Amino acid sequence: MSDKFDDNLQIDEKLQKAADVAINEVLGTKKDEKVLIITNPDKDVQSISMALYDAASEVGALPVLIFQPVKTQLDFAEDSVISAIKSNPDIILSISKQKLGKDKKALKNPYKVGDKEYDNTFHYLLNEKKTRSFWSPSITARMFTETVPIDYTELRETCKKIKDELDKAIEVHIIAESGTDIVIGLKGREAKADDGNFKELGKGGNLPCGEVFISPELGTSNGMIGFDGSITVEGGEVIIKTPIMAKVENGFVTEITGEDEAEELKKTIEKAEKTVSEFVSQGKIPQKMEKTYAQNARNLGELGIGLNQNAKIVGNMLEDEKVYGTCHVAIGANYDDDAKSLIHLDGLIKDPDITVKYEDGSVKNIMKDGKVV
């Protein structure tokens, strides 16, 4: 892993074209808008960030590029980075080798808006519609070049179709040859479309984009998940050779079986549980939240459906979870901010059948053998 700047950095034409697409077609960046780009001194993310800087400058925006050391899922962002985010720029872009990093002060004293709490300044600004953004944890130059310049009109139409069905559903049933057979409750939840349309305040998602995702209704998921694509563990993503079987009861993973990949997943979850008590003792998490953070290390935090036709399973979850013909389920924190956890571990399921159930008891198949119906 590099922690040094590349003084001989060359940005090729295809990468610059992808950056132009991101700045114009995805963000709709305007003249004089303030654009904050946060990155690391690593060749790939450095080159992408410089290309984005140039593309933003080209349209007359006011970009600022800030570097910090590489951060993992359990690390804190630098104070200077959080201060830059607090300046509330029009656009925030996180182009990171691994993660942006946690917000130390907000984790201890969350932002409170009505009955909502945000433990990260970035989440607060985005969800309260004060900025717009995309974030690309573990992005590579190859991935950015191949998966960003796509047909956004087609993608947005497909995302809308899937989002509309999930929004109406009270539960979803997923079956796959991996051994997956699980029912996930969705009452009171609204799906989010990572469709590459981040032109309005409060809009944001991954780049590459191409998924519809939703937070499961708390405590309602039951069944078995057979992860057979790739999965996030402490050391990064691994492509799964032998399916990881995860038993889910009342919204929590209660048992994990399999081979080496399953052991890595168990170790990652157990470390997150242990780290909570360490953070509490260090004053980084309020003591009253200790039990919540620890329990939610096993929470089912997300159901996502991949829809990017250019994406491939490569052992990098940023791209893997967008692969058309897959769905993914995450263990840990959710995106509705009512299941706080130190981790969010995505795992892929290949070629699923996905059926939604509505309030009146009727059902509808929305994906068959990995293909949108």
Q: The CATH number of the domain where 82 resides is what?
A: 3.40.50
> What type of residue is 12?
D
- Which of 110, 144, 178 is the endpoint of a domain? 144
352 preceded by a cis bond (ω within 30 of 0): no
Count other Cβ atoms within 10 Å, centred on residue 280: 18
Do residues 353 and 365 touch, judged by C-beta distance below 8 A?
A: yes
| pLDDT tens, residue order, the chain (373 aa) | 345 556 666 789 999 999 999 999 999 999 999 999 999 999 999 999 999 999 999 999 999 999 999 998 889 999 999 999 999 999 999 999 999 999 999 999 999 999 889 999 999 999 999 999 999 999 999 999 999 999 999 999 999 999 999 999 999 999 999 999 999 999 999 999 999 999 999 999 999 999 999 999 999 999 999 999 999 999 889 999 999 999 999 999 999 999 999 999 999 999 999 999 999 999 999 999 999 999 999 999 999 999 999 999 999 999 999 999 999 999 999 999 899 999 999 999 999 999 999 999 999 999 999 999 9
> At which residue do the structure tokens 């979803």 appear?
172
70 and 205 share one domain: no
197 CB-side CA count, 13 A: 13
Q: Give domain status of residue 5, yes or no.
A: no
188 and 245 share one domain: yes
Look up residue 160 and give its two tokens: 């809308």
223 and 334 share one domain: yes
- Which of 88, 120, 144 is the endpoint of a domain? 144
185 and 278 share one domain: yes
62 DSSP β-pair partners: 34
pTM of the shown model: 0.86
Q: Give the model's pLDDT for residue 161.
A: 97
348 and 217 share one domain: yes
255 and 290 share one domain: yes
Give the H/E segment covering residue 86: helix 79-86
48 and 173 share one domain: no
Do residues 103 and 120 touch, judged by C-beta distance below 8 A?
A: yes
CA-CA-CA-CA torsion sign (171, 174, 175, 181): negative
Q: Which value, to the nearest 10 degrees, does the dihedral of the CA atoms of residues 27, 33, 39, 45 take?
A: 50
Q: Give domain status of residue 230, yes or no.
A: yes
Q: Give domain status of residue 39, yes or no.
A: yes
Q: Give domain status of residue 317, yes or no.
A: yes
119 and 250 share one domain: no
Q: Give the model's pLDDT for residue 6.
A: 64
SS3 of residue 22 by DSSP = helix
Q: Give domain status of residue 198, yes or no.
A: yes
Q: Give the model's pLDDT for residue 323.
A: 98
90 and 176 share one domain: no
The angle at the Cα of 15, spanning 10 to 20, to the nearest 5 degrees, equals 120
Nearest to 186 by CA among 207, 174, 168, 203: 168
Q: Give domain status of residue 73, yes or no.
A: yes
Q: Give the model's pLDDT for residue 1.
A: 39
- Which of 144, 162, 197 is the endpoint of a domain? 144
121 and 157 share one domain: no
207 and 294 share one domain: yes
C-alpha span between 60 and 341 (Å, rounded): 39
C-alpha span between 88 and 34 (Å, rounded): 9
Q: Give domain status of residue 1, yes or no.
A: no
Q: Give domain status of residue 8, yes or no.
A: no
C-alpha span between 324 and 206 (Å, rounded): 15
> At which residue do the structure tokens 């890595």 appear?
264
Look up residue 305 and give its two tokens: 């459906």
| Beta-strand relationship, 222-227 and 181-185 | antiparallel
Q: How many domains does the chain have?
A: 2
* Domain of residue 110, residue span: 13-144
C-alpha span between 233 and 262 (Å, rounded): 10
> At which residue do the structure tokens 């008590």 appear?
277
338 and 246 share one domain: yes
C-alpha span between 322 and 308 (Å, rounded): 5
